[in-house]
Amino acid sequence: MENANLKREIMPNFNDFIDQLKSNLVDHARQFGDDVKDEFVEDGKAFAEEAKEDLKRWTQLMAEDKLTRDDFEFLVKGKKDIAKMEALKQKGLAKARLDKFKNALLGTVVNSAFNVFGDHS
Q: Residue ranges per domain, the chain? A: 36-121
The DSSP call for residue 119 is -
Using pLDDT thresholds of 50, 70 and 90, give the confidence band for residue 10: low
CB 116, CB 58: distance < 8 Å: no
CA separation for the pair 43, 26 (Å, rounded): 11
Q: Rounded mean pLDDT of 89-95?
A: 91
pLDDT per position as a tens digit, 35-57: 899 999 999 999 999 999 999 99
Which pLDDT does position 27 carry in this prediction?
93
Could you give the 3-state DSSP secondary structure of residue 121?
coil
CA separation for the pair 53, 70 (Å, rounded): 19
Q: Average pLDDT over the chain, rounded to whole?
A: 88
Q: Rounded mean pLDDT of 77-86?
A: 93
* Region of poorest pLDDT, from 10-14, 89-93, 97-101, 114-118: 10-14
* % of the chain with per-residue pLDDT over 90: 73
